[in-house]
Structure 1
Amino acid sequence: MSVTALDPATALVVVDLQQAFLGLPGSPYPVREVLDRNIRLAGAFRAARLPVVLVRVSFAPDGGDVVPGRTEQPRPALSYPEGWDAPIPELHEPSDLVVTKHNWGAFHGTDLDVQLRRRGVTQIVLTGVATSIGVESTARAAFEHGYHVTLAVDAMTDTDPEAHRGSVQRIFPRLGETGTTEEILDLLAKSR
């Protein structure tokens, strides 16, 4: 695990760290710790005048935009409390880009790629929940889109520690560089 560099045009992309998931029993890191690390990263990116993108998952009340298809696991209920898909106020600033997705990954069916390319972004630092679902899907697509991918592995968590570990140890090193929040903050400070 080592982050070697941050491009001059790097964006922080936070996946699914939204109201509904604050109560998740994150593993290996509690969601509150992950949120605190993301708040620090977002503040540093904003101070460096680099984009912060908050990706949220949301569905229409009638479920019309839920991805179809057969699965072996039951789909989540379509009845969500008001505001479940809202960004977390402590993390969100008006200058942030907010991207709404209806799939696991943040690229398919959204304008994320267009928004990043308009800003000249060549690298993304990924964080969020769940490591093995939304974050991994977004990391795979970012790699396929040609971005340099950096994954802040202590600023993400999962509901399953084995799934988190599998993504971090087996998948992420094939898609980019992995490191800690502190490593990324240090690189940001050195680049200013």
Structure 2
Amino acid sequence: MPGLDINKKTTALVVIDLQKGIATQPTQPHPALEVIRNAALLVRAFRKNVMPVCLVHVVSSPETMLKVNSDQSFSRPGGMPVDWSEFVPEIAPVPTDVVIAKKQWGAFYGTDLELQLRRRGMDAIVLCGISTDIGVESTARFAYEYGFQQVFCEDAMSSGTAEQHNAAVKFIFPRMGRVRKTAEILAALG
């Protein structure tokens, strides 16, 4: 696998759905706490290097959720806790961060994420979060179609099952970018 070069002037970090209502769910192959710890390391490194950090979270209600006919639907038992969409404390936003609120799986559709990245001169993203095969993969597919270079931080993302995570990491992400570990990305940032 070739070495990893990250252009600090044109690369942003995009963190998907590390919020209290999602990051408390069981994940595999990496426990959510490990994903949060690794994402927090990336957030700190990007902030230290004065590189954009985009924190994405789902902010929806039963009225604004997508309602499609499907064989398997997502439903929340009862109401959502008041803090469901709040970011986990380890990556709490600071004033220089870009905060993106979304109502669907991917971070681009229906948001100004692309505009925020382009205005900052970004042409590459490092992507992480929960869930690998849902929010992260949906965002990655849009980013690929928009022409962004991508680095996927494999140990700073996870899914409901190891099979779901591994399918995206093994078959999808290598066709859209480079799959690396947190340590490799941190080393490339210096």
* TM over 0.5, shorter chain: yes
Alpha-carbon contact 2:130-2:159 (below 8 Å) kept: yes
Which residue number in structure 1 is paired with residue 153 of structure 2?
Answer: 152
Q: Which runs of 5+ in 1 are unaligned?
A: none
Deviation at 1:88, TM superposition (A): 1.4
Which residue number in structure 1 is paired with residue 72 of structure 2?
Answer: 73
Provide the rounded CA distance (Å) in 2 between the counterparts of 1:76 and 1:128. Answer: 21
**What's the C-alpha RMSD, in Å, of the aligned pairs?**
1.3
Q: Which runs of 5+ in 2 are unaligned?
A: none
> After the TM superposition, which residues 44-123 of structure 1 pair with which residues of structure 2 at under 5 Å, given as runs?
44-60=45-61, 63-77=62-76, 79-94=79-94, 95-123=96-124
Q: Which runs of 4+ in 1 moved over 4 A?
A: none
Which residue number in structure 1 is paired with residue 131 of structure 2?
Answer: 130
- TM-score normalised by length of structure 1: 0.93
CA 1:35–1:3 in structure 2 vs 1: closer, same or farther (change >3 Å)?
farther
- TM-score normalised by length of structure 2: 0.94
CA 1:148–1:86 in structure 2 vs 1: closer, same or farther (change >3 Å)?
same
Provide the rounded CA distance (Å) in 1 between the counterparts of 2:24 and 2:104. Answer: 21
Alpha-carbon contact 2:126-2:151 (below 8 Å) kept: yes
CA 1:2–1:109 in structure 2 vs 1: closer, same or farther (change >3 Å)?
farther
Q: How many residues align?
A: 187
CA 1:114–1:14 in structure 2 vs 1: closer, same or farther (change >3 Å)?
same
SS at match of 1:155: strand
Q: Deviations over 1:88-136 (max 9, x none)?
A: 1221232211101111100000000000011001100000000000000
Among the aligned pairs, what percent are the same residue?
A: 41
SS at match of 2:156: strand
